[in-house]
Amino acid sequence: MQNQIVEPEKGTETPETETPVKIKEIQNWDELDIHTDILRGIYAYGFDKPSFIQQRAILPIISGNDVIAQAQSGTGKTGAFTISALNAVDLTKAETQVIIVAPTHELANQIANVNRSIGSMMEGLVVKTLIGGTFVNDDIKEITKTPPHIVVGTTGRIFDMIQRRHLNVSNVKLFILDEADEMLSRGFKTKIQDIFGHTSFRDSGFDPTVYAKPGKDNDGCGQIEFGWNCPVLCGPRKRCNEIRYIKRLVFVYFGVTKYYLL
């Protein structure tokens, strides 16, 4: 399949020092340069072939590119960022390396279960769910005894564990925000920034803005404006610094100035 280069619209060009990034679509899981145990977990989970969003989003993410991608519910976007998250984990290090934030307890539990299922072949992988409504002391004991490689949860409990100095996020290299449009528009932005403030990429300038634009055409969706560098796009949209009228986004942060929206 021919590689596609996303051209920025007028007024949103990337700086001259940046090189345009090609999007290479994969057709089979074996095309991904990931650990065999993750591949085995993918097939065991029932993913015979990558879906459209998985074909286009996983490779740019694990390659460390800036990405914006859009997909509807049920199209495999949870699997896309889960595979990318598992690939970022170094099992030889007993430290938290990935944070996945969701807007609800139910979604956080669902995502954690997908991570455990696809990562079931990764010996020693620890995935911890941090949500409200559970015993704080139990969370503290588990985190202290066995630091999780991947933390999945809601903003309140995750930040609480950070503030109490029980969750060390200084070595986090991948940050995922599921349903980013909903979370940022519902007032979670401050808490998300608080979590960012305790990571190694706290000076990255994370400052997305989400707001609903009046009019019948938006169908309740928000408009998102970005203040970072123009990323690669993995969805149907072609505007770099602004995505209009969309829902069900996943924001993924990888390293310094690496942003993804699925």
Q: At 182, which CATH number?
A: 3.40.50.300
Burial of 20 (0-12, 13-18, 19+ CB in 10 A): exposed
Residue 174: strand pairing partners:
98, 254
Residue 250: per-residue pLDDT: 53
Strands ordered across the beta sheet of 242-246:
209-212, 222-225, 242-246
pTM for this one? 0.78
Residue 176: per-residue pLDDT: 82
Residue 231: per-residue pLDDT: 55
Residue 262: per-residue pLDDT: 42
Taking only the tens of pLDDT, the chain with its 262 residues reads 333 333 334 444 433 334 445 578 899 999 999 999 999 999 999 999 999 889 988 888 787 765 666 677 788 889 999 999 999 999 999 999 999 999 999 999 999 999 999 999 999 999 999 999 999 999 999 999 999 999 999 999 999 999 999 999 999 888 888 887 777 767 787 888 888 778 776 555 444 444 433 333 433 334 444 444 445 666 654 443 344 333 444 555 444 333 444 4
Residue 202: per-residue pLDDT: 55
Residue 68: strand pairing partners:
233, 261
- Tell which residue, 104, 59, 58, has the closest CA to residue 78: 58
Query: Domain span at residue 93?
Result: 4-261
- Tell which residue, 161, 156, 113, 163, has the closest CA to residue 137: 161
Residue 71: per-residue pLDDT: 74
- Tell which residue, 23, 83, 88, has the closest CA to residue 47: 83
Give 229's Cβ-side CA count (13 Å radius).
19
Amino acid 233 reads: L
Cα 125 from Cα 190, distance rounded (Å): 30
- Tell which residue, 242, 234, 221, has the closest CA to residue 260: 234
Strands ordered across the beta sheet of 127-130:
127-130, 150-153, 98-101, 174-178, 250-254, 259-261, 67-68, 232-233
Q: For the chain, what is the domain count?
A: 1
